[in-house]
Amino acid sequence: MAGLIKRGDIDEVRQRVNIADVVGDYVTLKSAGVGSMKGLCPFHDERSPSFHVRPQAGFYHCFGCGEGGDAYSFCRKSIT
Ligand SMILES: [Zn+2]
């Protein structure tokens, strides 16, 4: 199936990309403790940061609107 991204390619992107770098292009991240960063959520309006990123785990989660995922899903959601 030409044109479709293979599962293996996605896994490779997940391993190569640092989610803090990807999210950091859109969100100003500040340290929120060991292995955790937080910033203003790009998916909903807020004034106090509830958007958390865990670079070592490769995941993000927003406690305000419930958005969550990895670097790959963040790219897809922020582009569309
Ligand atoms: Zn949010």
Which CATH number belongs to the domain containing residue 30 in this structure? 3.90.580.10
Query: Residue 61 Cα, ligand 1 centroid: separation in angstroms?
Result: 8
Encode pLDDT of 26-77 as tens digits: 999 999 999 999 999 999 999 999 999 999 999 999 999 999 999 989 989 8
Query: Residue 54 Cα, ligand 1 centroid: separation in angstroms?
Result: 15
> pTM for the whole thing?
0.77
**Residue ranges making up the domain that contains 62:** 18-79
Query: Residue 1 Cα, ligand 1 centroid: separation in angstroms?
Result: 35
Fill in the DSSP letter of residue 45.
-
Give a yes or no: residue 7 inside a domain: no
If one counts the domains in the chain, the total is 1
Residues 6+ apart with CB under 8 A from 59: 19, 53, 68, 69, 70
pLDDT value for 34: 93
Give a yes or no: residue 5 inside a domain: no
Query: Residue 77 Cα, ligand 1 centroid: separation in angstroms?
Result: 12
Give a yes or no: residue 57 inside a domain: yes
